């Protein structure tokens, strides 16, 4: 695959790339490069962490990435996830891996790495200390958004340690590319700034789009951090997101009540599902309608769908019915995996028994 095609694939993942010229230089130098993302294990997994993550990872590996998925159990512990119970956090981490196995993620070039293994290495803590010594307290507190928390919510000393660890992760994993969500931008930029000072490199930042929750936005200008907080809160407000083991009935109910104002595309979660998930998995989308309402509609691109919706030629309920059916198709393999695999089923039951703590 030539460099322009690789750039195009990565560009489909990155809502923002810092910087395009650095990325091109990397691809000119290396046919294979290392990209990473990290996840705090907390509660059950929603569709953005599952299906959307699989779509993006598959594009990155096709473009030449060796993808390192960091199971950030100690980060979740520092952030008081699952009530600060490390054993529970690690159980959730094992559950996450089982979901990814069945989510359509191509795993040949994906490696799962646990932070609980990394922290046994003294060299890792040297990197954490290097980052901390070259950063101000004010700058680290501003990075608190990476934890799905606003600056005023960073209260525990362990949460101050978190951004230093996350920046150190990049260098310890030898990652050329940070491929995380837009909500992680601040710590990735921090790593670019401190890297050369510490004798490392400037990692390239490929930030993917943050999928919004299913409810009506509380403001007309939500940024990536607000979206991230919405999705993290979805674990205590389960109707605001589709989860990777939801039943067909749950999916249909949630989609039917989702915010989807007729003729409006801005901040419309149902259209976002179409753009970032459904049209990524299906080449065409057929909206089934009775003949008395105009018969079926077929769309070959998201742009066509959005245009017809804005023009009022597609009713929200017709769109919702189709979206619910397609999302159910995509999640069905995950449900089957947890039904048939006894190890996975036991993990799911354990995780569902835990009280979710943000």
Angstrom distance (rounded) from CA 295 to CA 303: 20
Task: Return the pLDDT at 227.
Answer: 57
Task: Return the pLDDT at 231.
Answer: 53
**What does the pLDDT look like over 186-207, one tens digit per residue?**
999 999 999 999 999 999 999 9
Contacts of 223 (CB under 8 A, 6+ apart): 182
Task: Return the pLDDT at 283.
Answer: 86
Residue 293 has pLDDT above 50, yes or no: yes
* Domain boundaries of the chain, sorted by first residue: 3-207, 238-353
CATH 3.40.50.300 fits 238-353, yes or no: no
Q: Report the helix count and the strand count for the chain, using DSSP H and E.
A: 17, 8
Give the 3-state secondary structure percentages of the chain, helix then strand then coil, rounded to 5: 60, 10, 30
Task: Return the pLDDT at 87.
Answer: 95
Q: Which of 24-33, 224-233, 331-340 shows the lowest mean pLDDT across its residues?
A: 224-233
Query: Could you tell me which CATH class the domain 3-207 is placed in?
Result: alpha beta
Task: Return the pLDDT at 224.
Answer: 55
- DSSP at 234: T
Distances (CA, A) of 152 to 93, 135, 290: 28, 19, 52
Q: What is the mean pLDDT of the chain?
A: 90
**What does the pLDDT look like over 84-119, one tens digit per residue?**
999 999 999 999 999 999 999 999 999 999 999 999
Confidence of residue 151 (pLDDT cuts 50, 70, 90): low
- DSSP at 145: G
Radius of gyration for the chain, computed over Cα atoms and rounded to the nearest angstrom = 21
CA-CA-CA-CA torsion sign (306, 310, 312, 318): positive
Task: Return the pLDDT at 358.
Answer: 47
* Stretch 241-266: mean pLDDT: 95
**What does the pLDDT look like over 3-51, one tens digit per residue?**
999 999 999 999 999 999 999 999 999 999 999 999 999 888 999 999 9
Q: Contact, 136 vs 159, CB < 8 A? A: no
Task: Return the pLDDT at 141.
Answer: 83
Q: Read off the tokens for 232.
A: 């993290």
H or E, element range at 114: strand 110-114
Q: Contact, 99 vs 45, CB < 8 A? A: yes
């Amino acid at each position: 695959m030539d460099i322009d095609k690789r750039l195009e694939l990565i560009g489909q993942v990155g809502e923002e790339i810092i910087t395009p010229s650095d990325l091109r230089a990397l691809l000119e130098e290396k046919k294979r490069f290392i990209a990473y993302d990290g996840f705090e294990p907390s509660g059950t997994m929603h569709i953005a962490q599952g299906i959307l993550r699989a779509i993006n990872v598959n594009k990155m590996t096709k473009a030449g990435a060796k993808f390192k998925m960091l199971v950030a159990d100690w980060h979740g512990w520092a952030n008081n996830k699952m009530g600060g119970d490390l054993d529970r956090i690690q159980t959730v981490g094992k559950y996450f891996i089982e979901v990814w196995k069945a989510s359509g993620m191509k795993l040949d070039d994906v490696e799962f790495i646990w932070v609980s293994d990394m922290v046994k290495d003294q060299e890792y803590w040297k990197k954490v200390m290097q980052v901390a010594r070259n950063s101000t307290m004010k700058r680290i507190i501003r990075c608190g958004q990476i934890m799905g928390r606003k600056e005023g919510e960073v209260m525990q000393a362990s949460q101050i340690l978190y951004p230093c660890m996350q920046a150190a992760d990049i260098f310890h994993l030898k990652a050329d590319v940070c491929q995380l969500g837009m909500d992680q931008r601040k710590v990735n930029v921090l790593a670019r700034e401190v890297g050369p000072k510490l004798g490392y490199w400037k990692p390239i930042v490929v930030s993917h789009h943050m999928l919004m929750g299913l409810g009506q936005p509380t403001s007309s200008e939500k940024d990536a951090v607000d979206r991230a907080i919405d999705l993290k809160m979805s674990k205590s407000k389960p109707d605001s997101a589709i989860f990777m083991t939801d039943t067909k009935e749950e999916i249909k109910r949630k989609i039917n009540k989702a915010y989807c104002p007729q003729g409006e595309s801005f901040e419309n979660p149902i259209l976002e599902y179409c753009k970032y998930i459904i049209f990524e998995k299906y080449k065409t989308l057929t909206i089934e309608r009775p003949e008395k309402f105009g018969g079926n509609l077929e769309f070959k691109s998201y742009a066509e769908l959005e245009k017809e919706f804005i023009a009022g030629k597609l009713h929200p309920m017709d769109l919702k019915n189709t979206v619910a059916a397609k999302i159910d198709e995509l999640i069905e393999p995950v449900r089957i995996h947890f039904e048939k695999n006894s190890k996975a089923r036991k993990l799911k039951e354990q995780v569902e028994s835990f009280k979710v703590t943000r």
